[in-house]
Amino acid sequence: MPTPANGDTVSIDYVLRRGDGEVVGTTEEQGPQDIQLGSGQIFPQIEQALTGMEVGEEQTVEIACDSAFGPRRDELVIEIPRENLPPEPAPQPGMALQAQQQDGTPMTLYVVEVGDQAIRADGNHPLAGEDISFAITLRDIKQAA
């Protein structure tokens, strides 16, 4: 049976888990995800695993936090005065906000605490500081032309 190569598009199902085993993402509802190998759409460790797999094969790939979303950075947790926020929608814990960094690049912040005068928002990825694992199943291979 053929295995995928760089440039091929593969269709995979996956279950993403934190290091403690909690499921934090899956393709269960939306169906398999298509990925072009070599395009940087997914972690390199998963691409490497996929290049040796056959359709129907399952594999679990462990990724340490430094190679996943990096360590948590305390300096990315900031206070924002309520007056700097639009009045609607009212901020709620877990809400995502879009901001610009000093160099103009966009950044997503997640509201972690709402006070009367200010909110606390976290610019870390929700999985920063976490080891993660992907249980992947190769569903299909579309070879590059």
User: Residue 124 and residue 43: Cα distance in Å, rounded?
Assistant: 18
According to DSSP, the β-strands at 33-36 and 77-81 are unpaired
Domain ranges across the chain: 9-69+128-142, 74-122
For the segment 66-123, what is each residue's pLDDT rounded down to a tens digit? 999 999 999 999 999 999 888 888 899 999 998 888 898 898 999 999 999 999 999 9
Question: Looking only at Cα atoms, what is the longest distance across the chain?
Answer: 62
Q: Is-contact 2 125, C-beta < 8 A?
A: no
pTM of the model: 0.80
Q: In the CATH scheme, what is the code of domain 74-122?
A: 2.40.10.330
Please give the radius of gyration of the chain, using alpha carbons only, rounded to the nearest integer.
19
For the segment 19-70, what is each residue's pLDDT rounded down to a tens digit? 999 999 999 999 999 999 999 999 999 999 999 899 999 999 999 999 999 9
Same fold? 9-69+128-142, 74-122:
no
Q: In the CATH scheme, what is the code of domain 9-69+128-142?
A: 3.10.50.40
